[in-house]
A and B are shown apart, each in its own frame.
Chain A
Amino acid sequence: MTRPEVVVTGLGATTPLGGDVASTWDAMLAGRSGVTPLTQEWAAQLPVRIAAQLMVDPGDVLDRVKLRRLDRSEATALIAAHQAWADAGLAESGLDLERLAVSVGSGIGGAQTLLAQDDILEASGPRRVSPHTVPMLMPNGPAAWVGLELGAKAGVHCVASACATGAEAISLGLDIIRSGRADVVVAGGTEAVIHPLPIAGFASMRAMSTRNEEPERASRPWDKGRDGFVLGEGAAVVILERADHAAARGARIYARLAGAGITSDGYDIVQPHPQGAGFVRAVQKALDDAGVSGADIVHVNAHATSTPVGDMAEVSGLRLVLGDHPVLTATKSMTGHLLGAAGALESIATILAIHEGVVPPTINLDDPEDGLLDVVTNKPRHMEIPAALNNSFGFGGHNVALIFTRHS
Chain B
Amino acid sequence: MSSREEITAGLAEILEEVAGVNPDDVAEEKNFTEDLDVDSLSMVEVVVAAEEKFGVKIPDDEVQNLKTVGDAVSFIVKSS
Whether A68 is near chain B, meaning CB under 8 Å from some CB there, is yes
Query: Given known contacts A69-B41, A131-B41, A132-B41, is B48 in contact with A64 (CB within 8 Å)?
Result: no
Closest B residue, CB atoms, query A63: B20
Across-interface contacts of B9 in A (CB, < 8 A): none
* Residues 54-66 of chain A, each 1 if its beta carbon lies under 8 Å from chain B, else 0: 0000000001111
Tell me if B19 and A65 are in contact (CB < 8 A): yes
- Total A-B residue contacts, Cβ distance less than 8 Å: 17
**Interface 0/1 of A63-87, CB less than 8 Å to B:** 1111011000000000000000000
Report A-chain residues with C-beta under 8 Å of the C-beta of B19: 65
Contacts beyond the supplied A64-B20, A69-B41, A127-B48: 10 A-B pairs with Cβ under 8 Å: A65-B18, A65-B19, A68-B18, A128-B48, A130-B45, A131-B42, A131-B44, A131-B45, A132-B41, A132-B45
- Bin chain A's interface residue count: 10 to 19
With A and B bound together, what is the CA distance between A68 and B45 in angstroms?
11
**A residues touching B (Cβ–Cβ < 8 Å)?**
63-66, 68-69, 127-128, 130-132
Closest 8 CB pairs of A and B: A65-B20, A131-B44, A131-B41, A132-B41, A131-B45, A127-B48, A65-B19, A128-B48
Measured CB to CB, the closest approach of chain B to A145, in angstroms, equals 14
Shortest C-beta distance, A266 to chain B (Å), equals 43
Q: Considering only CB atoms and an 8 Å cut-off, how many residues of chain B contact the other chain? A: 8
Mark B residues whose CB is within 8 Å of A. 18-20, 41-42, 44-45, 48
Chain B: minimal CB distance from A61 (Å): 16
Query: Which B residues are in CB contact (< 8 Å) with A65?
Result: 18-20
List the B side residues contacting A66 at CB < 8 Å.
20
Which residues of the partner chain B approach A68 to less than 8 Å between Cβ atoms?
18
Measured in the bound complex, the distance between the Cα atoms of B42 and A390 in whole Å is: 43
Neighbouring B residues of A132 by C-beta, 8 Å:
41, 45
Q: How far is the CA of A69 from the CA of B38 in the complex (A)?
A: 13
Cβ contacts under 8 Å, B45 to chain A: 130-132
Tell me, in angstroms, the Cα distance from A128 to B44 when the chains sit together. 10
Q: A350 → chain B, closest Cβ, in Å?
A: 40
